[in-house]
Amino acid sequence: MRADNPASQAAFAKASEYLERKPLVGSRRCLAWITDHVCRIVEQPAPIWWWVATIVTGAIAALTPAMLTYLVATGVGVWGLNAPVAWAWDITNFVFWIGIGHAGTLISAILFLTRQKWRTSINRSAEAMTIFAVICAGIFPAFHVGRVWFAWWLFPIPNANAIWQNFRSPLLWDVFAVSTYFTVSLIFWYLGLIPDLASLRDRAKTRLRQMAYGILALGWRGSNRQWTHYEKAYLILAGISTPLVLSVHSVVSFDFATSIVPGWHTTIFPPYFVAGAIFGGFAMVLTLLIPFRELYGLHDLVTDKHIDNMCKITLLTGSLVGYAYAMEFFIAWYSGNPYELYAFINRATGPYWWAYWAMITCNVVAPQLFWFKYCRQNPWVVLAIVMFPNTGMWFERFVIIVTSIHRDFLPSSWGYFSPTWVDISLFIGTIGLFLFLFLLFVRFLPMITMFEVKNVTPEADPHHGNGHDAHGHASHPSPAKAHA
């Protein structure tokens, strides 16, 4: 019946094309193409735009040490902090950057455990982003302590005063959470890099490259005796990174939630912070990947399907964050606590109303556009939309931190925070540092996990090509034997 009728045949073909799962590597690229296309980014001379971007972001990044030097030389008074608002841009920036650092480990660990194979072409750059974001984050609390030369007191190192840390303080938990997160993310990232560094070593044309990548690759030779342990180690690291990534922002939220400040003292904070972190992190992954995919022509590796998936995660987590905002208000009313209620009414209608509504617009309203397929399919529209979460997640932290403390219990302790030029320049400096480090990463390390991408191609299937092997090895036993 179907065969006779050309119209229904065409409809059937269209339907099966629609239902067929899109391949993770576009255009049926072969293994050598993947290696070549990814390694070329590192091997060929850097394009002009790379030099321009690196010099510009490097100059902006230089603001970071400049402002820190000025801060240390003069005193924390150069920041706009005041009596009720002792935490402002510094802690906002810290939480903002830590949040961005969540997408990397989420992609590499949670999506690995849930067997989301599309993660393979984005995990490397997302992990790199994580590490750079955590570096930017660490700067703020370290200098916020005031006397940065005593920052080592945060760590349990025996000292001449015979004083130990207060392990009951969430600020100390934070030290452990953030430093563990940084270390484990770095190990995880490096572990994933080893086989790809071996690819760069084997392709190296100069002695310097051969030595540098050779040492970094630790003598990897892709033997199955190595792979078997490697895969196990990767699985374990993914397994421990999954609770770790969920714990880091939970612990960061304890800084606020364990206090008695109205607006901070809420049990919803840990999951709400984690959802927000994933939301902001994915927005930043998209922000970085879309331009690089265009510039390096990586459309067959980072396909439209990848962008579509990330948009959906952004939509989901953005809606979760919206739910958390609504629930905070509900609880503020339902708790019957007048201080709590006031803190929230003040948030939305007080002197910082603009920050609150900027946050709602960016984080709750803007991602709803991702319900529309058109918005998820056009990379430039995606890039425009994710700028809202990028901004909105900064405002979220600003709103939570500053609006909650700028009006203390007594009206005599009410104040208003305005950033100084040092606050602003330092934040801009860390944005420059983040982009600068990312540009260096793209230039010197393979930005796509080649061996994992190869593993999701049809050729990687050990039963691929049986029966119709084009290479002239038709005498193989039946594929079923491989299971024996």
In the range 148-207, which residues lie near another protein by CB under 8 A?
156, 162-170, 172-173, 176-177, 180, 183-184, 187-188, 191, 195-196, 198-199, 201-203
Residue 323 Cα distances to 34, 257, 288, 390, angstroms: 42, 18, 27, 19
Provide the minimum distance between the beta carbon of 446 and another protein in the complex, in angstroms, as a whole number.
11
Applying CB under 8 A, the span of 76-84, 296-304, 400-408, 453-461 interacting with another protein comes to: 453-461
Provide the minimum distance between the beta carbon of 284 and another protein in the complex, in angstroms, as a whole number.
24
Provide the minimum distance between the beta carbon of 283 and another protein in the complex, in angstroms, as a whole number.
26
220 binds another protein (CB under 8 A): yes
Residue count of the chain: 484
C-beta separation of 467 from 475 below 8 A: no
Nearer to another protein, 119 or 454 (CB): 454
Instruction: Give the C-alpha separation, 51 to 59, whole Å.
Output: 12
30 binds another protein (CB under 8 A): yes
Provide the minimum distance between the beta carbon of 466 and another protein in the complex, in angstroms, as a whole number.
6
Provide the minimum distance between the beta carbon of 163 and another protein in the complex, in angstroms, as a whole number.
7
Nearer to another protein, 214 or 322 (CB): 214
C-beta separation of 411 from 342 below 8 A: no
- Scan residues 38-97 and list those touching another protein (CB under 8 A): none
Buried b or exposed e, range 318-352, using 16+ CB within 10 angstroms: bbbbbebbeebeebbeeeeeeebbbbbebbeebeb
Nearer to another protein, 425 or 455 (CB): 455
C-beta separation of 286 from 107 below 8 A: no
108 binds another protein (CB under 8 A): no
User: What one-character-per-residue DSSP string does 12-64 give?
Assistant: HHHHHHHHSPPPSSGGG--HHHHHHHHHHHHHSPPPHHHHHHHHHHHHHHTHH
What number of chain residues touch another protein (CB under 8 A)?
81
Applying CB under 8 A, the span of 87-95, 221-229, 333-341, 386-394 interacting with another protein comes to: 221-229
C-beta separation of 63 from 428 below 8 A: yes
Provide the minimum distance between the beta carbon of 25 and another protein in the complex, in angstroms, as a whole number.
13
Nearer to another protein, 202 or 294 (CB): 202
Provide the minimum distance between the beta carbon of 177 and another protein in the complex, in angstroms, as a whole number.
5
Could you say which of 44, 223, 412, 418 contacts another protein (CB under 8 A)? 223
218 binds another protein (CB under 8 A): yes
Could you say which of 128, 237, 286, 313 contacts another protein (CB under 8 A)? 237
- Scan residues 340-399 and list those touching another protein (CB under 8 A): none
- Scan residues 403-442 and list those touching another protein (CB under 8 A): none
299 binds another protein (CB under 8 A): no
- Scan residues 242-271 and list those touching another protein (CB under 8 A): 243-244, 247, 251, 254
Instruction: Give the C-alpha separation, 204 to 213, whole Å.
Output: 8
C-beta separation of 118 from 309 below 8 A: yes
Tokens of 410: 């007594």
Instruction: Give the C-alpha separation, 106 to 278, whole Å.
Output: 8
Q: Which DSSP letter does residue 37 get?
A: H
Q: What are phi and psi of 86, to 5 degrees?
A: -90, -15
C-beta separation of 136 from 433 below 8 A: yes
Provide the minimum distance between the beta carbon of 460 and another protein in the complex, in angstroms, as a whole number.
6
Instruction: List, in order, residues 6 or more apart from 477 with CB less than 8 Å away.
Output: none
